[in-house]
Amino acid sequence: MALYPLPIAKYTVAALGVLFFLVLPLSLHEYYLSIANLVWISIIGALGLNILVGYTGQVSIGHGAFMSVGAYTAANFATRLDFPWPVNLLLGGLMAAAIGAIVGIPSLRIKGLYLAIATLAGQLIIEWTINHVTFISGGVQASIEVPRPQLGTVVLNTHREMYFFLLFFVVVAIVGTMNLMRSRVGRAFVAIRDQDIAAEIIGINIFRYKLLAFAISSFYAGVTGVLYTYYFGIANYEQFQIGVSIDYLAMIIIGGLGSVLGSIFGAAFVTLLPIGIRYGMEAVSGVLFSEATVHNLIPALRLTLFGALIIVFLVLEPEGLNRLWRNIRSYFRVWPFAY
């Protein structure tokens, strides 16, 4: 099936390409690029989680841990064996895929909430292991510094350089996911989600494909972890705790389950929302309260507002930002008529 059913989609993609590859990186301040970079990394993770949860219908609260598996695998290979980053990226992804497939084994027998708890156990076990096994975590601090990634002789130091580096992987992940979901393997995933009995009768080996979904999804998570590591220059398990697993679930639920575009929207939304809330509060700080009060309130209020906004969104549009976007699009397609 064609990726672009309408010619206008081609132009839109071309325009977005110019915007994100030329206009934004060459005009924005480093600080804004650093925010964009966080969005890029989270898009990859959200796509991966959506393959598992949205498309295959298997829950995971362990993706934060799978990211840490990728991160520490890459960091160890980078510091102990001096492997270059592309090799570490691949190894981090593969290691996460292997661990993810193991954590996914219970999915043959259990579904829904029960599977969620099983993967939660995976999260906690992996967290504990990395934190306590010094061979993996590299000592008491449980953090390993990695050298900056290098392209040829160019060392990627600035946010602007990292922007292009990360955006490349985002494009690969987006196109790859769309391809996967429109061909044989992706269809089998959706079949398992929609009707597992019928999936089996048409010849899909349910167990194999569930594990495959866990592995692919965890591969994305592993790559996300490696990219975080190279972006921050350090692998630290505190960046991959259970809160991260839940953030990523929030991304795909808010963005839209079983949708590539939804993963992108959700990742951007959840990453940008706290920053947006902070800006908003700083803007009103002098007006309503004293500046000092606001600074004390910000951390608590940020979480509260974040939670409240998510609830509002889910009530108004349970199918996520992707559905909202489609409604807007179909509204303007026939504008100024109602239909």
Residues that bind another protein (CB under 8 A): 1, 176, 179-180, 182-188, 190-191, 193-195, 197-206, 212, 216, 258
Which residue number, 123 or 218, has a Cβ lying nearer to another protein? 218
In the complex, least distance from residue 221 CB atom to another protein, rounded to whole angstroms: 16
Q: Cα(32)–Cα(324) distance, rounded to whole angstroms? A: 26
Residue 73's nearest CA partner among 224, 237, 222 is 222
Which residue number, 28 or 105, has a Cβ lying nearer to another protein? 105
Which residue number, 36 or 188, has a Cβ lying nearer to another protein? 188
- Strand-pair partners of 235: 144
**Quick check: 123 and 61 in contact, CB under 8 A?**
yes
Which residue number, 139 or 203, has a Cβ lying nearer to another protein? 203
In the complex, least distance from residue 193 CB atom to another protein, rounded to whole angstroms: 7
In the complex, least distance from residue 202 CB atom to another protein, rounded to whole angstroms: 5
In the complex, least distance from residue 3 CB atom to another protein, rounded to whole angstroms: 9
Q: Cα(166)–Cα(208) distance, rounded to whole angstroms? A: 31
Distance of CA 303 to the CA centre of its chain: 20
Q: Cα(226)–Cα(107) distance, rounded to whole angstroms? A: 26
DSSP string, 93-137: HHHHHHHHHHHTGGGGT--HHHHHHHHHHHHHHHHHHHHH-HHHH
Which residue number, 46 or 235, has a Cβ lying nearer to another protein? 46
In the complex, least distance from residue 185 CB atom to another protein, rounded to whole angstroms: 5
